[in-house]
Structure 1
Amino acid sequence: MKRVPLVPTIVVALAIAAMVALGLWQLLERKPQKEAFLAQLAANPTRPPIAFPRFPDQALLFRRASAFCLEPVSISRAGAGAAGYRVIALCRTGAEGPGLRVQIGTTRDPVGTVAWGGGAVRGWIAHAPDARPLIATVAQPNAARELMLVTDRPAPGLAANAPPSIESIPNNHLAYAVQWFLFAGVAGVIYVVALRRRWVGKKED
């Protein structure tokens, strides 16, 4: 008679159940939530302009906004694909809280000096470049990110910014669900194969 080891079977069954539960959570809860959030973001460009928020609010992405840069503290570059580099100024605003980041245009020059003295800016709210290490972005994919203002008029000497696109917001919850279901299936197959090998080994003994 083939006996199934009790404790290992319980452990594997609990692990498989947890994986299936995570897959269902991604499919039935997280996916609809993300789709509703994306629908809200898609409507943001048509809503009235607002003052740039002092603290991050992801629900304001792609909304038109305005701000005032008293003084650029630093100007840096970030990759922009075919456009070359995004030129981003960190501004002093005179208000409490973090400084204002403004994407003032794009350039193909990786090292040239950008002369911009600040002032009134307007455009769209977008995510600032993510400075977190790769491991942090994997471990916390839904963590709140810093926002910046992407200007609708470039600074002198720079090319115009492309308006932020909702396509930059990933919706991977269906893929996550499929992965958890596959993990559960693979775990089950591996355990069954291990049991068969154990039974064959005992039979030969």
Structure 2
Amino acid sequence: MMRRLPLWPTLIVGLAVALMVALGVWQIRRAHWKEALLAQYATAAGRPPIAFPAVPPTDGSLLFRRASAMCLQPTAWSARAGSNRAGEPGWRHLALCRTGAEGPGMLVDFGWSRDFAAPAGARGGRVSGVIDSDRDHILLLVAETPAPGLAPSARPSPENIPNNHRAYAVQWFLFAIVALAVYAVALRQRWIGRPPK
């Protein structure tokens, strides 16, 4: 006789597997989105330089563009973990720069060092470099020429942005297969222990 599937366990496993498959499909869509975004960033890196905007957009459309601006005076310094162009770990030195009598100013990565302390003698002036974003997604200008006493920070590059979404999709699909296999084994063990009705 035919074995009957238990209703609630089968329903729960079915819903869990459906959710895992849906998450896998979502990760594949995210992979396509990320590939398009990385292509946009790669194109931006090859476009002509622009003036760093007074009010940077928040959509990421300027990331990896070359730009320049006038830092009249650094007003506040912060150090954040980062690397130099050789990949050595240390501290990136960021300064909030005054750009005029009014306005929000701009954030500039003036360079890298092994020392956490703010660089001595760093002054304002024209800054040219590449637009990047900090950990809070605020746009900043990574200076091509570092301030005195600093080495150049690592160049921002779209190649440093991971695209792991396909691997995540494979993981979700494997989880779904494993869940089905485990449930099939559990059903088999249950049926072996009971005679069919």
Q: Which of 174, 191, 197 is 1:199 aligned to?
A: 191
Q: Alignment length, in residue pairs? A: 187
Under a length normalisation based on structure 2, what TM-score does the superposition of the two structures give? 0.82
Q: Distance in 2 between matches of 1:127 and 1:155?
A: 19
Q: Kindly indicate whether the alpha-carbon contact (under 8 Å) linking 2:21 and 2:173 is maintained by their aligned counterparts in 1.
A: yes
Larger radius of gyration between Structure 1 and Structure 2 = 2
User: 190, 197, 203: which is aligned to 2:182?
Assistant: 190
Amino acid at match of 1:156: P
Distance in 2 between residues matched to 1:201 and 1:73, nearest whole Å: 76
Alignment of 1:126-145 (within 5 A): 126-128=132-134, 130=135, 145=137
Deviation string, structure 1 residues 162-190 (Cα, Å, up to 9, x no partner): 32122221111111111111121122122
Which residue of structure 2 aligns with residue 142 of structure 1? none
Which residue pairs with 2:58 in the alignment? 56
- In 1, the alpha carbon distance for the partners of 2:58 and 2:103 equals 14
User: Which segments of 5 or more consecutive residues in structure 1 lack a partner in the other structure?
Assistant: 132-144
Normalised to the residue count of structure 1, the TM-score between the two structures is 0.79
Q: Which moved more, 1:14-23 or 1:171-180?
A: 14-23
Larger helix share, 1 or 2: 1
Match of 2:115 in 1: 109
CA contact (8 A) 1:83 1:106 kept: no
CA contact under 8 A between 1:126 and 1:147: conserved in structure 2? yes
Give the corresponding residue for 2:43. 43
- Output aligned runs, 1:1-205, within 5 Å: 2-27=3-28, 29-53=29-53, 54=55, 55-81=57-83, 82=88, 84-94=90-100, 95-97=102-104, 99-111=105-117, 113-128=119-134, 130=135, 145-202=137-194
C-alpha deviation, 1:108, in angstroms = 2.0
State the identity %.
54
Q: Which amino acid aligns with 1:177?
A: A
